[in-house]
Every structure is written in C-alpha cells, then in structure tokens.
Structure 1
Amino acid sequence: MNYREIFKQAGQGKIAPVYVLYGAETFMIEEFIQFMKQQVLDEAAIDFNFSLYDLEETPIQEAVLDAETMPFMDERRIVIVKNAFFLTGGKSNSAVEHDLDSIQKYVDQPMETTVLILIAETEKLDGRKKIVKQLQKDNTVVSFPPMHGQELWAWMVRQANKQHAQLEQGAATALERIVGQDLRRLTQEIEKIASFVGQGGVITEEVVDQLVSRTLEENIFGLIDKVSALELEQAMRIFYDLLKNNEEPLTVLHLLARQFRMILQVKVLTQKGYTQRQMASQLGVHPYPIKLAADKSARFSEAALRSILIYLAEEDFRIKSGQIDKVLSMELFMMKIKDLLQVRA
C-alpha cells in the first residue's frame, strides 16, 4: 500500500489495528502519526492513550504490554514503536533484550481497541520473516519513499495552498534546486515565503531566489559547475562567499572531494545500467544528490575525476601537515583544474 492510500483510508475512518511504516521519508511518517492522532484520539484523553517506544532503549515486550491495555476514557489508544529492527534484515545495536515472540503473538491477535504503529527507517523489509509476510498479507505495510518530480511539485503546491498562497511551477523547481527534497525544510521555506507574499499572493521563482538561502551542498555543486565550465572567476567568487559565511576551507575541500567522488560513482554505475533510484539505494544517499551528480557526470572523464580526487587527497594531507595555507590550497586547485580536466585514461 502507498502512503496516499493509507491517508485516504484513515480519513474515511478505516483504521487497521497494526501498521508498518517504512522508508526514507520520515517527515511523511511523522505527518501520518499526527494525522492518526487527530483521527483516532479524543484530544482530552491523548496523554492517557498515546505512547511512543524506541526499541534502542525499551524492550518490545513493554510496548506489547501497553498495546494490550484498554484505552482510558476513549475508544482507542495509539502505541508507536520506533526502530522496529525485527522487520528488517538487520539486528539491534543496543543491549536491550527483546522478547520477539511477544510481538509475533500480538500481531496474530491484535487488540481492536489499539492502533499499533511499527516504524522501520529502512528502504526494504525482510520479506522472508513470518511477521513481515503476515503484515503484508493484512495489507497494513506502507512504504514512504522519497518524493521527486511531479509528485514533489504537487506536494509543494498543496503546502502553499494550506498557507493560502499560489506556487508557480518555476518556483517549485527553484525550491527543489535550492533546498533539495527535504520535506521538513521545504515546509518551513514555503511557510516563510507565503508569509512574505501574503494571503492570496503568488510565489514566483524570483521570490524564491530572493528569500531562500542556499545550502552548503548546493553551493558546492555550484562551485563544481563553475570549475567544470572553467568559469574560474565565478568559482572564486563562490569560494570567497563561503569564506565570508565562516565556512572552513578544509570543509569545502572535503565536500568537494565527496561530491566529485559521488559524480565518479554515478558515472561508473550509469555505465553498468543502474537507474538513479537504484544508485541512491546502493550508495545510501537521498535521490536528489544522485540527480545532481548524474547531470554533471557527462562533463568529466572517469580518468579526470580520479585525477581530481587524488589531487584533493594530496592537498588534504599538505594542509593538515602544515605544508600549505588552506585558502591558498583551494585557490591553486581552481587554477590547476584545467590541467586536471584534460587527464585522459
């Protein structure tokens, strides 16, 4: 089941006794929990009938015992269980001892007066496990993958509408370019911009560029853009702006190395036929940086990328060993980039 369907069903009063929520989009998982609290619980009795457990700190049997307890002054109670490792192929890293038989028995016969929500921050559940098979059969397993493309833009439009503002498509594209796909920060930025344009106002691309501060990651990609195009004056300007914002030159070097490494990895995986979504899963990163890296990978030969990474590693050593000033090192890198880009296998 996808998350849109689960919101729809809950809004219609179709509440399941057990849910499994998994995926990278933790903001939407939190939104669903808040939605369920509004749908299921009487506000006056929330403190008595809402519980949150983290299996890194609390044994599962305590959460099960709570789930087996009748609600107080209400028809239902909600029990949230975070870090439900037993649904994945992984193991718990904590010293807490869990009685996993207790959760299996509960899932076999759940309380009708309890909504138990199991949360696993993972891209994939372990479908070989009995409990996962049973929950999938009951159709209460919900994936929350990252949003992208038209789906993300439509979500941003809805967020703007909630603030009584209109969001132009160009503005949505600019927001994704600057902020990425972090729904929490996108929500904050849209609320800020909507307040600026006022009720009934229109959020344009120009307003977004004026009001939304760029992330360090986007500035680094911008720096790579200018460097790869040999627009060195603009590249230097971005670098000096980062210094004015109190960014450490060594931090900039490390981020440059990380992004060039990702561009290399994306280039290699593209040649092997991977999709961008598969790359994100393989590399353990959000899909948006993969998209940015893919857009830039065609500008570099594989040999040039390896040459750049070797150069940055050597400069990292020279800076840390006191052989060169860290600002001078970055300035020299941008002056030498033309030679590095011409390296061929």
Structure 2
Amino acid sequence: MQATEFLTKKPAEIQQPIYLITGTEKYLKNQVIAKLSNLIPSGLQSINLGQFDMEDEWLADAINDAYSVPFMGEQRVVIILHPYFLTADKTGRKLNQDPVELEKYLTNPAASTILAIVMDNQKIDARKKICKLLKKEAVQIDCSALNEKEVRQVVAKKVKQNSYQIEESALNLLL
C-alpha cells in the first residue's frame, strides 16, 4: 500500500497487527508514524506507545512491550526504528539483535497491539527467513518518492486542510 493511501484511512481502518514501513521519503514515514501514534489518546501515549531504536535497545524489549496488555486503554502501538538486523548491511552495528522473538511474535501477534517496523533507506534482505515471514505477515507501507502529480495532490490537500487557497500559478511556482 502506498503511504498516501494509508494516510487517508480512518483510524478504524488501521487495525492490522503488523506494519512494515519502507521507502526513502522521511516526510511520509514521519506522517505514517504520527498517524499510528495518534491511535493512542494523548493522555495515554506515555504508557501505551513505545518506540524502540534497534541501535541502542534490544529487540527482545520491544517484543515484550508488544506483548504487554494496554494500560487504561484498548490499544498499544510499538514502533521499531533502525532494524538493521533485517538488512544485509553489517557495518556500524552496536548491538547484535536476535530475531527469534520477532519471529515468534509474527506468527502469533498480540491482538491489542499494532507493531510497526520502520526501515531506513536500506532494503530488507529477502534471503533471510525472518524477512520472508515479515513480508508475508505484515502490511507493507511504501514511502517512496512521490511523482509530480502526487506532490501536487499532497500540497493542495495540506493547503485546503489549513483553510487556505492557492492559485494554480502559485502552486506551479512553489513546486
């Protein structure tokens, strides 16, 4: 699914247990992460929203958080950032992650948790068993660069959302 399609969905339509977010557009990735984060009410985000950076934190901690029952809410969102263990790149890693726990989670995800794995600009290593399972079980959100038509639509929509108007010539100049 394209990121622009995902961003138009209503919160009730975003109920898949696992998302794999790929692509190079950081803006779109941030919008997708924000949309997932906003599924948790702002007063409960500190206890039901977890972000784990795999450069500094253990994968097992993220999976344990995903299995945890939501506290005072109905849903939990766990976001995994920089999952280098899913790529072929071995340079610059501080932690050697063991994906066995993730593999178990992918086959039996918690019903009340949405797990989002956010890839960097690197490609997922399709040869690994965990990556094959992830592609099979997760809904993939593609945050690739937009073409000119899509950029026009996004800008026009943002302008309209903020109760402004823009002339076609001004939009052309902006783009």
* Fold conserved between structures, TM > 0.5: yes
Q: 1:98 to 1:137 in 2, by over 3 A?
A: closer
Query: Whose helix fraction is larger, Structure 1's or Structure 2's?
Result: 1
Q: Hey, what does 2:161 align to over in structure 1?
A: 162
Q: Hey, what does 2:116 align to over in structure 1?
A: 117
State the alpha-carbon separation in 2 of the partners of residues 118 and 89 from structure 1: 16
Q: Which has the higher contact order (CA 8 A, sep 6+)?
A: 2
Q: 1:130 to 1:8 in 2, by over 3 A?
A: farther
Give the 3-state SS of the residue equivalent to 1:34 in structure 2: helix
Measured after TM superposition, the shift of residue 140 of structure 1 is: 0.7
CA contact (8 A) 2:78 2:114 kept: yes
Measured after TM superposition, the shift of residue 46 of structure 1 is: 1.4
Higher gyration radius (CA): 1
Q: Hey, what does 1:31 align to over in structure 2?
A: 31
**Structure 1 gap ranges (5+):** 177-345
Matches within 5 A, 1:165-184: 165-176=164-175
Q: Hey, what does 2:102 align to over in structure 1?
A: 103
Q: Hey, what does 1:3 align to over in structure 2?
A: 3
Measured after TM superposition, the shift of residue 138 of structure 1 is: 3.2
- Cα-to-partner distance string for 1:175-213 (whole Å, 9 max, x where unaligned): 23xxxxxxxxxxxxxxxxxxxxxxxxxxxxxxxxxxxxx
Give the 3-state SS of the residue equivalent to 1:6 in structure 2: helix
CA contact (8 A) 2:23 2:144 kept: yes
State the alpha-carbon separation in 2 of the partners of residues 67 and 41 from structure 1: 14
CA contact (8 A) 1:9 1:15 kept: no
Give the aligned residue type for 2:25.
E
Count residues in correspondence: 175
CA contact (8 A) 1:10 1:36 kept: no
State the alpha-carbon separation in 2 of the partners of residues 105 and 28 from structure 1: 29
1:128 maps to 2:133: no
**Structure 2 gap ranges (5+):** none
What value does the CA root-mean-square deviation take over the aligned residues? Answer: 1.9
Q: Hey, what does 2:139 align to over in structure 1?
A: 140
Moved more, 118-127 or 16-25: 118-127
Measured after TM superposition, the shift of residue 120 of structure 1 is: 0.7
Q: 1:10 to 1:118 in 2, by over 3 A?
A: farther
Give the 3-state SS of the residue equivalent to 2:114 in structure 1: strand
CA contact (8 A) 2:69 2:112 kept: yes
- Cα-to-partner distance string for 1:229-263 (whole Å, 9 max, x where unaligned): xxxxxxxxxxxxxxxxxxxxxxxxxxxxxxxxxxx
CA contact (8 A) 2:20 2:138 kept: no
Q: Hey, what does 2:152 align to over in structure 1?
A: 153
Give the aligned residue type for 1:21.
I
TM-score normalized with structure 1 length: 0.47
State the alpha-carbon separation in 2 of the partners of residues 114 and 92 from structure 1: 32
Give the 3-state SS of the residue equivalent to 1:52 in structure 2: strand
Q: Hey, what does 1:86 align to over in structure 2?
A: 85
State the alpha-carbon separation in 2 of the partners of residues 124 and 173 from structure 1: 33
Measured after TM superposition, the shift of residue 139 of structure 1 is: 5.0
Measured after TM superposition, the shift of residue 142 of structure 1 is: 1.3
CA contact (8 A) 1:21 1:142 kept: yes
- Cα-to-partner distance string for 1:95-128 (whole Å, 9 max, x where unaligned): 2231221111111111111111111112532222
CA contact (8 A) 2:7 2:32 kept: yes
Q: 1:158 to 1:132 in 2, by over 3 A?
A: same
Query: Whose strand fraction is larger, Structure 1's or Structure 2's?
Result: 2
- Cα-to-partner distance string for 1:132-163 (whole Å, 9 max, x where unaligned): 32233235111101123111011111111122
CA contact (8 A) 1:89 1:126 kept: yes
Give the 3-state SS of the residue equivalent to 1:32 in structure 2: helix
CA contact (8 A) 1:153 1:169 kept: no
State the alpha-carbon separation in 1 of the partners of residues 163 and 9 from structure 2: 26
Give the 3-state SS of the residue equivalent to 1:164 in structure 2: coil
Q: Hey, what does 1:62 align to over in structure 2?
A: 61
Give the aligned residue type for 2:158.
Q
State the alpha-carbon separation in 2 of the partners of residues 100 and 62 from structure 1: 12
CA contact (8 A) 2:18 2:138 kept: no
Q: 1:170 to 1:86 in 2, by over 3 A?
A: farther
Give the aligned residue type for 2:109.
P
